[in-house]
């Protein structure tokens, strides 16, 4: 029961937060930007259910990474390190492949940072709570 409460619950809650945040940002705020950008390249934006499932898995993998890193580093170190690895490097790769609509960065940079910060808070708070 301790493993579930101290490990699975923080990861699960952080993963749910990450996936809700990703959904809001990419489906509600900037989906049309993605669609238009892909259309301008002569491509169809990948929006099949399988793509959504893969992104959901990515969200939970990010939550696992945050949980692991947060056990060694403080809140800000974890947030910056994970944000740098997960998002900044992703955008560099997407820019290099010419599939990154630069207009999304105005929204994506602050919202992704908040996403990682809140997920780190959840992991640290729920994991550290067991120490009480």
Mean pLDDT for the stretch of residues 28-48: 94
pLDDT above 50 for 37: yes
Q: Are 116 and 14 in contact (CB under 8 A)?
A: no
User: Averaged over 12-19, what is the pLDDT?
Assistant: 98
- Per-residue CA distances from 11 to 70, 74, 129 (Å): 11, 17, 14
- Is residue 29 within 8 Å of 107, Cβ to Cβ? yes
* Rounded Cα distance, 79 and 36, in Å: 31
| pLDDT bucket at 34, cuts 50 / 70 / 90 | very high
- Residue, of 127 and 89, whose pLDDT is higher: 89
- Position 131 pLDDT exceeds 60: no
- Answer yes or no: is pLDDT of 130 > 70: no
Q: Are 116 and 82 a contacting pair, CB within 8 Å?
A: yes
Mean residue pLDDT across the chain: 93
């Amino acid at each position: 029961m301790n493993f579930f409460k101290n490990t699975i619950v923080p990861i699960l809650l952080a993963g749910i937060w990450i996936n809700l945040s990703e959904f809001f940002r990419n489906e509600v705020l900037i989906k049309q930007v993605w669609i238009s950008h892909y259309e301008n390249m002569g491509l169809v934006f990948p929006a099949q259910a399988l793509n959504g499932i893969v992104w959901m898995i990515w969200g939970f993998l990010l939550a696992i990474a945050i949980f692991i890193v947060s056990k060694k580093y403080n809140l800000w170190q974890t947030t910056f390190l994970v944000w740098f690895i997960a998002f900044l490097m992703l955008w560099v790769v997407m820019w290099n492949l010419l599939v990154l609509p630069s207009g999304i960065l105005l929204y994506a940079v602050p919202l992704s940072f908040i996403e990682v910060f809140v997920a780190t808070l959840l992991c640290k708070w729920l994991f550290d709570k067991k120490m009480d």
